[in-house]
Amino acid sequence: MNFDTLELSKSMRRLLLLLLILPMALLVMGVYGGLMQALFRAGIVTSDPFVGGEYYRGLTLHGVINALVFTTFFAVAFGHAVITKTLNKALNERWAWTSGILMIVGTVMTALTIFAGRADVLYTFYPPLQADFFFYLGLVLVVVGSWIAFFTWIPPYLEWRRENPGTKTPLAAVGIFVTFIVWFIASIAVAVEIIVLIMPWVLGWVDGINAMLARTLFWMFGHPLVYFWLLPVYVMYYTMLPRLAGGKLYSDTAGRLVFFMFIVFSIPVGTHHQLMDPGISSEWKLIQGFFTFMVALPSLITAFTLAASLEYAGRKRGGKGLFGWMFKLPYFDTSRWLFAYFITGLILFIFGGISGIINASYQMNAVVHNTAWLPGHFHMTVAGPVILGMLGMSLYMVAKLTGKKIRMKKMVLAVPYVYSVGLLMMSWGLMRGGLQGMPRRTNTGLTYSNPDSALYRADWQLFTDVVVVGASIMFLAMVVYFVAFFLTLVYRRAEEPSMSFGWTESVHESPTPVRWLHNFRPWVIVALVLIFVTYAPVMYDVTTSNYGTSPRYGPDSPAPRVSPSPQSEDLPPPSSSDAEAGDERAERLDLLIE
């Protein structure tokens, strides 16, 4: 089918450039914040003048910019381009710009509250940690803006379907729609958390908040968020990587199946982040743990499909023997520099996926829960294929949208390889330290990495040092990338702007649509049924548990107080023997620390 012929209007090119360049500028601070986290944890630095000297402020900045802002802006910009080019349909520019403006205003609002020190709540913003009202309002605007972008794609898609009955929807368009179907359904949960629970609490309309309910709503959104990050990169893997390698996609049908499976299995899995949380029945944790294993299936299908596609390309380029095709792929071809960003991310994702299976295992999760293992896995997954894919495609799109040649192309080609070495080192240090009990979300430089502290752990220092070395290598690679990105922007135009993608062909492709892979509706219906079945009992548990509500956490309350439940009001006061036993336990703890 002939597509990718419609050119973007000048207005749309400007919008896409804005959505790509602004978050890239913010990403400079986000990457800097990541390096500072490693230095803080190692005790090399104790304050950061750029973010007010606060470890948790820097951690919040790093998470919000890298994991929420950069990824959402990229997904919207990439989606605009893919839908326009694959369907040959112009988008409603007024609504597209409305979407972009809302996202920009929301980002500025959120960033200002973080820099002002009024939102040190990390990117998960768990209550009873409380941020400024405008932090939450900014996040809401970003999400609503992304919804509007998604809605602008639906009318041209329906029009395309009417004009092309019996024709398969282009695979890239399927991937983008699946990405935002998952995002829309999942982000409803976090919208409810923020608007219904958090905002009234922040404004003082209610005295406390159900922290467990808020946490459950966040993870109903938080794990599908991973697939919102990952799926745009899957679009690149399936529709561009095989052609960059010099071959074809092995199976178009397998790609469609993978995307539709993500609709069904992405959302009813969030409770596996709460396996150690009270208030949720074990059987429902186990069921969602089972679905977490199910969501690994599309990734396994992807691994086999892409491996077959790369083998096809390698053999077409002259590869012989069982593994000879691997050495014929264009790893260091500057004319195909984008291949390096895709292949390194794909390799890293193997390790990220394996470690994710461990997190979903009920027993093994008890070992790694709340340890440095988690950010080790998280970075292998998100900072690997997601960030590398988005970095490569951002530079590619900016060059196409401006008509400029990419500067420092040899250095650009080297970036993903150097970055991957650093990421492997950093993630290994975090995960290996986590297995020894090293905690996450903790400024270990003040205690466990401080020889003057009673809590000093000499056995963790090797892992902490490896993290610092790995993070420093990643930072240097990113500095090179940023220089090349912004140099490309400021140099003179070399040709007329023309946004185009090199779509791949398929080795095995059905000439007519497979009926059950041709319609989004049944997959969405099945997904909604699964969400209800798996989350209705969980929501019942967390709303009926006798934990009461929590006030705002503050420095004067090291442990959040809980409002009394009806049952606890009838309990007798503690006896003198209870108090003496408590004093004895406290004395033993003091002796242990000494």
Task: Tell me the per-residue pLDDT of 401-421, one tens digit each, with 9 for 90 and over.
Answer: 999 999 999 999 999 999 999
Whether 377 sits among the annotated catalytic residues: the reply is yes
Q: Which residue in 227, 312, 339, 485 is the catalytic one?
A: 227
Q: Quick one: how many helices (H) and strands (E) in the chain?
A: 21, 2
3-state secondary structure of 380: helix
Residue 390 half-sphere exposure toward CB, CA atoms < 13 A: 31
Which three-class secondary structure state does DSSP give residue 270? Answer: helix
80 is catalytic: no
62, 379, 432, 457: the catalytic one is 379
Tell me which residues of the chain have a pLDDT lower than 70.
1-4, 51-53, 555-594
Residue 371: beta bridge partners? 439
Residue 199 identity: M
The active-site residue, picked from 57, 62, 272, 377, is: 377
Q: Tell me, what's the pLDDT at 460?
A: 93
User: Which one of the listed residues 135, 378, 463, 535 is annotated catalytic?
Assistant: 378
SS (H, E, C) 441-504: CCCHHHCCCCCCCCCCCHHHHHHHHHHHHHHHHHHHHHHHHHHHHHHHHHCCCCCCCCCCCCCC
**Residue 515 falls in the annotated catalytic set:** no
Residue 508: its pLDDT value, please?
A: 81
pLDDT at 372: 93
What is the spatial distance between Cα 148 and Cα 142, in angstroms, rounded to a whole number?
Answer: 10
φ/ψ of 278, rounded to 5, equals -80, 170
Domains of the chain by start residue, with CATH = 330-500 (1.20.210.10)
Residues contacting residue 524 through CB under 8 Å, at least 6 positions apart: 181, 185, 263
Is 227 catalytic? The answer is: yes
Give me the pLDDT at residue 359, please: 80
Q: Could you say which of 13, 62, 223, 407 is catalytic?
A: 223
Q: What angle do CA 531, 532, 536 make, to 5 degrees?
A: 115
* pLDDT value, residue 280: 87
Task: Find how far residue 258's CA is from the centre of its chain.
Answer: 19
Question: Is 378 noted as a catalytic residue in this protein?
Answer: yes
Catalytic-residue membership of 57:
no
Q: Return the pLDDT at 433.
A: 94
d(CA 185, CA 190): 10
518 is annotated as an active-site residue: no
Q: What confidence score (pLDDT) does residue 21 get?
A: 96
User: 315, 441, 518, 552: which one is catalytic?
Assistant: 441
Q: Which residues does 145 contact at the CB level (< 8 Å), separation at least 6?
A: 76, 98, 99, 100, 101, 102, 103, 106
The one catalytic residue in 41, 215, 440, 457 is: 440
